[in-house]
């Protein structure tokens, strides 16, 4: 297609593919475990907070499982 519409669509498609490839390369489509630790004094003895997503699906509305230790 050597028309303006075909060229514009081709460039837009190429840009969309480039955006998704960059996001994939940066790891934006993966959910990793979040961990928070505090060294030193703890407030009310709470330490070792672990945040784990309820689902590994990217666009799923889900909850987070929070576990912690109390001493």
Domain containing residue 66: 31-71
Q: What residues are paired with 49 via a beta bridge? A: 36
Alpha carbon distance 66, 49 (integer Å): 7
Domain count, the chain: 2
- pLDDT at position 18: 95
Q: Are residues 25 and 53 in the same domain?
A: no
- Residue 14 CB neighbours (<10 A): 10
The tokens for 24 are: 């994939």
Alpha carbon distance 47, 61 (integer Å): 27
Q: Are residues 64 and 51 in the same domain?
A: yes
Question: pLDDT category, 20, cuts 50, 70, 90?
Answer: very high
Q: Are residues 35 and 12 in the same domain?
A: no
- pLDDT at position 68: 76
Q: Are residues 55 and 66 in the same domain?
A: yes
Unique residue bearing structure tokens 């990793």 = 32
Q: Are residues 37 and 61 in the same domain?
A: yes
């Amino acid at each position: 297609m050597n028309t303006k519409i075909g060229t514009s669509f081709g460039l837009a498609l190429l840009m969309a593919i480039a955006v998704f490839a960059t996001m994939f390369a940066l790891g934006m489509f993966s959910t990793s475990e979040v961990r928070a630790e505090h060294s030193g004094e703890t407030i009310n003895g709470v330490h070792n907070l672990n945040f784990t997503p309820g689902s590994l699906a990217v666009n799923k509305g889900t909850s987070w499982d929070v576990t912690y230790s109390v001493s």
